Amino acid sequence: MTQPASEPFNIRILDREYTVGVAPDERDSLLSAARLLETKMREVRGSNRMAAVDRVAVLAALNLAHELEQLRNENASRDRELARTLSELNRRIDALASD
């Protein structure tokens, strides 16, 4: 299966415009990600309007990466618990079936 062709698309983050390539069916997702990034960057910048944009961007990215890592860890823990529960249920079913 081939990927849809990327098209140039302009997004605005902290009053700066960026052109990125995106498949038409991924625009909404990209806009949502851009809004999330802008929100994080504004939180990091706070009232310090003179903060360097690159520093603000790195700190916002670090915060988002940390949140992503926490979600991955939570999902892995949930997956392990689900596997344990399913294994226990299978063991019980096997025990009932052999009676």
Domain positions in the chain:
7-97
pLDDT at 4 > cutoff 80: no
Average pLDDT rounded to a whole number, residues 2-12 = 85
Return the percentage of the chain with pLDDT > 70, whole number: 97
pLDDT at 2 > cutoff 90: no
**Closest to 62 measured CA to CA, from 35, 78, 43, 77:** 43
Specify the pLDDT at position 41: 95
Rg (CA), the chain: 22
Give the pLDDT band (50/70/90) at residue 75.
very high
Residue 60 · residue 46 · CB < 8 Å: no
Q: Is the pTM of this model over 0.85?
A: no
Question: CATH top-level class for 7-97?
Answer: alpha beta
